[in-house]
Chains A and B, each alone.
Chain A
Amino acid sequence: MGVLHNSMVMNEMAADQLSDVFGALADPTRRAILARLTAGDATVAELTAPSGVSQPAISRHLKVLERAGLVSRTRRATARLSHLEAEPLRAATAWLVTYREYWEESFERLDALLAAMQDEAPDRAPGDERSIP
Protein backbone atom coordinates (compact mmCIF):
# COMPACT_ATOMS: atom_id res chain seq x y z
CA MET A 1 0.00 0.00 0.00
CA GLY A 2 2.87 2.34 0.86
CA VAL A 3 4.43 1.52 -2.49
CA LEU A 4 1.19 2.12 -4.32
CA HIS A 5 0.73 5.42 -2.55
CA ASN A 6 4.26 6.53 -3.39
CA SER A 7 3.90 5.53 -6.98
CA MET A 8 0.66 7.46 -7.28
CA VAL A 9 2.32 10.50 -5.79
CA MET A 10 5.19 10.11 -8.25
CA ASN A 11 2.82 9.82 -11.17
CA GLU A 12 1.12 13.01 -10.16
CA MET A 13 4.47 14.69 -9.80
CA ALA A 14 4.58 16.46 -13.15
CA ALA A 15 7.59 18.51 -14.17
CA ASP A 16 5.46 21.65 -13.84
CA GLN A 17 4.76 20.75 -10.27
CA LEU A 18 8.47 20.26 -9.62
CA SER A 19 9.03 23.79 -10.89
CA ASP A 20 6.33 24.93 -8.48
CA VAL A 21 8.09 23.07 -5.66
CA PHE A 22 11.38 24.83 -6.32
CA GLY A 23 9.64 28.16 -6.81
CA ALA A 24 7.89 27.65 -3.49
CA LEU A 25 11.15 26.80 -1.73
CA ALA A 26 12.95 29.85 -3.08
CA ASP A 27 11.26 32.06 -0.47
CA PRO A 28 12.52 32.16 3.14
CA THR A 29 9.07 32.84 4.63
CA ARG A 30 7.66 29.78 2.87
CA ARG A 31 10.58 27.66 4.05
CA ALA A 32 9.89 28.87 7.59
CA ILE A 33 6.23 27.86 7.20
CA LEU A 34 7.26 24.36 6.05
CA ALA A 35 9.73 24.08 8.90
CA ARG A 36 6.97 25.01 11.36
CA LEU A 37 4.61 22.44 9.80
CA THR A 38 7.15 19.65 10.35
CA ALA A 39 6.18 20.05 14.01
CA GLY A 40 2.49 19.51 13.24
CA ASP A 41 -0.58 21.02 11.57
CA ALA A 42 -1.22 24.69 12.22
CA THR A 43 -3.79 27.42 11.63
CA VAL A 44 -3.01 30.57 9.68
CA ALA A 45 -2.96 32.48 12.96
CA GLU A 46 -0.41 30.09 14.44
CA LEU A 47 1.75 30.44 11.36
CA THR A 48 1.44 34.22 11.38
CA ALA A 49 2.41 34.81 15.00
CA PRO A 50 6.16 34.04 14.84
CA SER A 51 6.67 35.20 11.27
CA GLY A 52 6.66 39.00 11.50
CA VAL A 53 4.52 38.95 8.34
CA SER A 54 0.85 39.91 8.00
CA GLN A 55 -1.87 37.25 8.00
CA PRO A 56 -2.95 37.98 4.37
CA ALA A 57 0.70 37.61 3.31
CA ILE A 58 0.91 34.25 5.09
CA SER A 59 -2.30 33.19 3.33
CA ARG A 60 -0.78 34.09 -0.03
CA HIS A 61 2.35 32.07 0.80
CA LEU A 62 0.14 29.13 1.80
CA LYS A 63 -1.60 29.28 -1.58
CA VAL A 64 1.78 29.01 -3.31
CA LEU A 65 2.73 26.04 -1.11
CA GLU A 66 -0.66 24.43 -1.73
CA ARG A 67 -0.31 24.80 -5.49
CA ALA A 68 3.11 23.14 -5.29
CA GLY A 69 1.51 20.23 -3.41
CA LEU A 70 3.67 20.90 -0.35
CA VAL A 71 0.76 21.82 1.90
CA SER A 72 -2.82 20.61 2.11
CA ARG A 73 -5.59 22.43 3.95
CA THR A 74 -8.22 20.77 6.08
CA ARG A 75 -11.07 22.22 8.06
CA ARG A 76 -11.51 21.44 11.73
CA ALA A 77 -14.63 23.12 13.13
CA THR A 78 -14.12 26.74 12.10
CA ALA A 79 -10.34 26.57 11.79
CA ARG A 80 -8.50 25.76 8.58
CA LEU A 81 -5.44 23.70 9.32
CA SER A 82 -2.38 23.56 7.09
CA HIS A 83 -0.68 20.20 6.78
CA LEU A 84 2.77 19.46 5.38
CA GLU A 85 2.81 17.05 2.44
CA ALA A 86 6.19 15.34 2.63
CA GLU A 87 6.14 13.29 -0.57
CA PRO A 88 6.70 16.11 -3.07
CA LEU A 89 9.76 17.10 -1.04
CA ARG A 90 11.14 13.59 -1.22
CA ALA A 91 10.31 13.40 -4.91
CA ALA A 92 11.99 16.73 -5.53
CA THR A 93 15.19 15.61 -3.81
CA ALA A 94 15.27 12.34 -5.67
CA TRP A 95 14.58 13.98 -9.00
CA LEU A 96 17.20 16.68 -8.64
CA VAL A 97 20.12 14.29 -8.51
CA THR A 98 18.93 12.41 -11.52
CA TYR A 99 20.24 13.16 -14.97
CA ARG A 100 24.04 13.28 -14.83
CA GLU A 101 24.21 10.92 -11.88
CA TYR A 102 21.78 8.56 -13.60
CA TRP A 103 23.96 8.22 -16.67
CA GLU A 104 27.36 8.31 -14.97
CA GLU A 105 26.35 5.56 -12.58
CA SER A 106 24.70 3.58 -15.36
CA PHE A 107 27.82 3.72 -17.52
CA GLU A 108 30.07 2.74 -14.62
CA ARG A 109 27.88 -0.31 -14.10
CA LEU A 110 27.93 -0.96 -17.85
CA ASP A 111 31.77 -0.89 -17.76
CA ALA A 112 31.74 -3.61 -15.11
CA LEU A 113 29.17 -5.69 -16.98
CA LEU A 114 31.04 -5.45 -20.28
CA ALA A 115 34.30 -6.44 -18.55
CA ALA A 116 32.58 -9.47 -17.02
CA MET A 117 31.05 -10.42 -20.37
CA GLN A 118 34.47 -10.30 -22.03
CA ASP A 119 36.02 -12.41 -19.27
CA GLU A 120 33.38 -15.02 -19.87
CA ALA A 121 34.02 -15.10 -23.61
CA PRO A 122 37.84 -14.91 -23.90
CA ASP A 123 37.80 -16.55 -27.35
CA ARG A 124 36.48 -13.36 -28.86
CA ALA A 125 38.65 -10.92 -26.89
CA PRO A 126 42.10 -10.84 -28.55
CA GLY A 127 40.84 -9.63 -31.90
CA ASP A 128 42.97 -6.55 -32.31
CA GLU A 129 45.57 -5.48 -29.79
CA ARG A 130 48.05 -3.84 -32.10
CA SER A 131 47.75 -0.17 -31.28
CA ILE A 132 47.62 0.59 -27.59
CA PRO A 133 49.90 3.61 -27.35
Chain B
Amino acid sequence: MTATEITAPAGVPFIDIRRDVEAPRDLVFRAFTDPALLVQWLGPRRYVMEIDRYEVRDGGGWRYIHRGADGAEYGFHGVFHGVPTPDAMVQTFEWEGAPGHISLDAISLEERDGRTTIHGHSVYQSVEDRDAMLENGMAQGVEEGYERLDELVGRLTPVA
Protein backbone atom coordinates (compact mmCIF):
# COMPACT_ATOMS: atom_id res chain seq x y z
CA MET B 1 0.00 0.00 0.00
CA THR B 2 1.27 3.45 -0.85
CA ALA B 3 0.80 6.69 1.04
CA THR B 4 -1.76 9.30 0.17
CA GLU B 5 -0.14 12.73 -0.08
CA ILE B 6 -2.42 15.60 0.80
CA THR B 7 -1.00 19.09 0.31
CA ALA B 8 -2.71 22.31 1.33
CA PRO B 9 -0.32 25.20 0.70
CA ALA B 10 -0.65 28.28 2.95
CA GLY B 11 -2.33 31.34 1.49
CA VAL B 12 -3.91 29.71 -1.58
CA PRO B 13 -7.27 27.88 -1.58
CA PHE B 14 -5.99 24.59 -3.03
CA ILE B 15 -5.85 20.99 -1.93
CA ASP B 16 -3.66 18.61 -3.90
CA ILE B 17 -3.89 14.86 -3.53
CA ARG B 18 -1.49 12.32 -4.93
CA ARG B 19 -1.74 8.57 -4.70
CA ASP B 20 -0.19 5.65 -6.62
CA VAL B 21 -2.15 2.52 -7.44
CA GLU B 22 -0.99 -0.79 -8.92
CA ALA B 23 -3.00 -0.75 -12.11
CA PRO B 24 -2.89 0.65 -15.62
CA ARG B 25 -4.67 3.93 -15.99
CA ASP B 26 -7.50 2.79 -18.26
CA LEU B 27 -8.58 0.49 -15.45
CA VAL B 28 -8.31 3.29 -12.90
CA PHE B 29 -10.31 5.53 -15.23
CA ARG B 30 -13.06 2.91 -15.36
CA ALA B 31 -13.09 2.73 -11.57
CA PHE B 32 -13.61 6.53 -11.48
CA THR B 33 -16.24 6.79 -14.20
CA ASP B 34 -18.34 3.59 -14.04
CA PRO B 35 -20.90 4.16 -11.26
CA ALA B 36 -21.14 0.39 -10.66
CA LEU B 37 -17.42 0.43 -9.82
CA LEU B 38 -17.30 3.82 -8.11
CA VAL B 39 -19.87 2.72 -5.57
CA GLN B 40 -17.51 -0.08 -4.53
CA TRP B 41 -14.67 2.13 -3.39
CA LEU B 42 -15.48 5.80 -2.87
CA GLY B 43 -15.95 6.87 0.74
CA PRO B 44 -15.16 5.46 4.17
CA ARG B 45 -16.13 1.83 4.77
CA ARG B 46 -18.62 2.71 7.47
CA TYR B 47 -20.81 4.57 4.97
CA VAL B 48 -22.93 2.96 2.32
CA MET B 49 -22.70 4.85 -0.96
CA GLU B 50 -25.72 5.38 -3.14
CA ILE B 51 -25.48 7.03 -6.53
CA ASP B 52 -28.42 9.15 -7.55
CA ARG B 53 -27.07 10.06 -10.98
CA TYR B 54 -23.65 9.95 -12.61
CA GLU B 55 -23.66 11.35 -16.12
CA VAL B 56 -20.09 11.09 -17.37
CA ARG B 57 -20.20 13.67 -20.17
CA ASP B 58 -19.63 17.37 -20.71
CA GLY B 59 -22.29 19.11 -18.64
CA GLY B 60 -23.42 15.85 -17.04
CA GLY B 61 -24.66 16.00 -13.47
CA TRP B 62 -23.75 13.71 -10.64
CA ARG B 63 -25.06 13.19 -7.14
CA TYR B 64 -24.32 10.59 -4.51
CA ILE B 65 -25.01 9.99 -0.85
CA HIS B 66 -22.90 8.41 1.86
CA ARG B 67 -25.22 6.96 4.46
CA GLY B 68 -24.01 6.09 7.95
CA ALA B 69 -25.26 3.20 10.08
CA ASP B 70 -27.06 5.76 12.27
CA GLY B 71 -29.01 6.98 9.25
CA ALA B 72 -27.04 10.22 8.87
CA GLU B 73 -26.75 11.14 5.20
CA TYR B 74 -24.02 13.08 3.49
CA GLY B 75 -25.10 14.22 0.04
CA PHE B 76 -22.73 15.56 -2.61
CA HIS B 77 -23.39 16.82 -6.10
CA GLY B 78 -21.80 18.60 -9.02
CA VAL B 79 -21.39 18.84 -12.76
CA PHE B 80 -18.73 17.51 -15.14
CA HIS B 81 -17.01 20.14 -17.26
CA GLY B 82 -15.59 18.84 -20.52
CA VAL B 83 -15.71 15.20 -21.58
CA PRO B 84 -14.00 13.29 -18.75
CA THR B 85 -10.78 11.61 -19.91
CA PRO B 86 -7.88 9.96 -18.03
CA ASP B 87 -5.98 13.23 -18.52
CA ALA B 88 -8.71 15.44 -17.10
CA MET B 89 -11.80 14.65 -15.09
CA VAL B 90 -13.00 18.14 -14.21
CA GLN B 91 -16.05 18.70 -12.07
CA THR B 92 -17.65 21.01 -9.58
CA PHE B 93 -18.12 19.56 -6.11
CA GLU B 94 -20.53 20.66 -3.42
CA TRP B 95 -21.24 19.07 -0.07
CA GLU B 96 -24.94 19.50 0.62
CA GLY B 97 -24.14 20.08 4.28
CA ALA B 98 -22.43 23.34 3.31
CA PRO B 99 -24.40 24.62 0.34
CA GLY B 100 -22.78 27.40 -1.66
CA HIS B 101 -19.23 26.33 -0.78
CA ILE B 102 -18.29 24.84 -4.13
CA SER B 103 -14.94 23.57 -5.28
CA LEU B 104 -13.62 22.87 -8.76
CA ASP B 105 -11.87 19.50 -8.84
CA ALA B 106 -9.56 18.22 -11.55
CA ILE B 107 -8.32 14.63 -11.47
CA SER B 108 -5.68 13.33 -13.85
CA LEU B 109 -4.20 9.85 -14.16
CA GLU B 110 -0.58 9.30 -15.10
CA GLU B 111 0.70 5.81 -15.96
CA ARG B 112 4.29 4.71 -15.54
CA ASP B 113 5.52 1.09 -15.71
CA GLY B 114 2.03 -0.26 -15.28
CA ARG B 115 1.33 1.83 -12.17
CA THR B 116 -0.88 4.86 -12.13
CA THR B 117 -0.48 8.06 -10.17
CA ILE B 118 -3.75 9.75 -9.34
CA HIS B 119 -3.44 13.54 -9.11
CA GLY B 120 -6.28 15.57 -7.68
CA HIS B 121 -6.29 19.36 -7.63
CA SER B 122 -9.17 21.12 -5.87
CA VAL B 123 -9.74 24.86 -5.99
CA TYR B 124 -11.95 26.34 -3.28
CA GLN B 125 -13.58 29.75 -3.24
CA SER B 126 -11.48 30.89 -0.29
CA VAL B 127 -8.72 29.69 2.00
CA GLU B 128 -11.38 29.55 4.74
CA ASP B 129 -13.49 27.16 2.67
CA ARG B 130 -10.43 25.06 1.96
CA ASP B 131 -9.47 24.93 5.62
CA ALA B 132 -13.01 24.00 6.64
CA MET B 133 -12.69 21.01 4.32
CA LEU B 134 -9.47 19.87 5.96
CA GLU B 135 -9.39 18.13 9.29
CA ASN B 136 -6.33 20.11 10.37
CA GLY B 137 -7.92 23.49 9.85
CA MET B 138 -10.78 22.43 12.06
CA ALA B 139 -8.89 20.34 14.57
CA GLN B 140 -6.23 22.86 15.42
CA GLY B 141 -6.87 24.45 18.76
CA VAL B 142 -9.95 22.39 19.43
CA GLU B 143 -8.19 19.09 20.13
CA GLU B 144 -9.13 19.35 23.76
CA GLY B 145 -12.65 20.44 22.94
CA TYR B 146 -12.88 17.51 20.58
CA GLU B 147 -11.91 15.02 23.25
CA ARG B 148 -14.57 16.48 25.49
CA LEU B 149 -16.99 16.31 22.62
CA ASP B 150 -16.33 12.60 22.26
CA GLU B 151 -17.04 12.08 25.94
CA LEU B 152 -20.16 14.13 25.65
CA VAL B 153 -21.48 12.37 22.57
CA GLY B 154 -20.74 9.05 24.24
CA ARG B 155 -23.06 10.06 27.07
CA LEU B 156 -25.92 11.24 24.91
CA THR B 157 -28.93 9.02 24.67
CA PRO B 158 -30.07 8.28 21.13
CA VAL B 159 -32.61 10.70 19.70
CA ALA B 160 -35.92 9.02 18.91
Interface residues of A, Cβ cutoff 8 Å to B: 2-3, 6-7, 10-11, 13-16, 18-19, 22, 25-26, 31, 34-35, 38, 84, 86-87, 89-115, 117-118, 124, 127-129, 131
Contact of A10 among B41, B72, B132, B141 (CB under 8 A): B72
Q: Does the CB pair B96–A11 fall under 8 Å? A: yes
Q: Does the CB pair A92–B149 fall under 8 Å? A: yes
Task: List the B side residues contacting A6 at CB < 8 Å.
Answer: 70-73
Task: List the A side residues contacting B15 at CB < 8 Å.
Answer: 99
Q: Does the CB pair B135–A110 fall under 8 Å? A: no
Residues A14 and B22 in contact in the complex (CB < 8 Å), given A86-B156, A89-B153: no
Interface size range of chain B in the complex: 35 or more
Task: List the B side residues contacting A112 at CB < 8 Å.
Answer: 41
Q: Does the CB pair B72–A111 fall under 8 Å? A: no
Q: How far is the CA of A101 from the CA of B134 in the complex (A)?
A: 10
Residues A93 and B153 in contact in the complex (CB < 8 Å), given A25-B145, A98-B135: yes
Task: List the A side residues contacting B40 at CB < 8 Å.
Answer: 109, 113
Q: Does the CB pair A87–B159 fall under 8 Å? A: yes
Q: Does the CB pair B41–A106 fall under 8 Å? A: yes
* Stretch among B24-32, B52-60, B81-89 lining the A interface: B24-32
Q: How far is the CA of A117 from the CA of B131 in the complex (A)?
A: 36
Task: List the A side residues contacting B139 at CB < 8 Å.
Answer: 96
Q: How far is the CA of A109 from the CA of B150 in the complex (A)?
A: 27
Task: List the B side residues contacting A127 at CB < 8 Å.
Answer: 24, 114
Q: Does the CB pair B132–A18 fall under 8 Å? A: yes
Contact of B142 among A22, A38, A117 (CB under 8 A): A22
Q: Which of A18, A109, A128, A129 has the largest count of B CB atoms less than 10 A from its CB?
A: A109
Q: Does the CB pair B71–A31 fall under 8 Å? A: no
Residues A94 and B72 in contact in the complex (CB < 8 Å), given A38-B156, A114-B21, A114-B22: yes
